[in-house]
Amino acid sequence: MNEKDMTTLFGEYIKKNPPKESEAYELKFTSGNSLPFSNVKIHQIKALLEVEKGGLYHRITDQPWIKDRLYSYTLKKPFDCFFMNKAKGYVVIWFYKPRQPKKFLKIRIKDFLMLYELESRKSLTEEKALSVSEVLNIK
């Protein structure tokens, strides 16, 4: 399992369980006992905060397309760009454990930053993440 698998599983989950309001997500995967805070990059934190406060404009870049090929590695983009404002921003973490039920921890960006400020460690443990997260049980 890896972050690509997480993206697929999360996409299936969110389509079956759509949020009532707009949300933005940064997905993170770890097979260890903790996730380094540095895995959530500064530009990702900034974008999630912008979504919640002042708004975020983002242009979806065109992906390369290989003509005359049966399969492509890209999906058709839904539109060219978007502006998100006053949506909720989340870091979603999967502390992967083989042969155990899949659960993703959905943490508001403000709570993730609070843990970063308060934590003496340089990484976030699953126990600490559980204290501020919504648990999504993935089938």
34-58 residue pLDDT tens: 999 999 999 999 999 999 998 999 9
pTM here is 0.89
52-87 residue pLDDT tens: 998 999 998 877 666 555 555 566 788 999 999 999
Q: Show the domains of the chain with their CATH numbers.
A: 3-60+76-138 (3.40.1350.10)
Provide the pLDDT for residue 73. Answer: 56
Neighbouring C-beta atoms of residue 82, cutoff 10 Å: 12
3-29 residue pLDDT tens: 999 999 999 999 999 999 999 999 999
Number of helical (H) and strand (E) elements in the chain, helices listed first: 4, 8
The pairing of strands 88-95 and 23-30 is parallel
86-110 residue pLDDT tens: 999 999 999 999 999 999 999 999 9
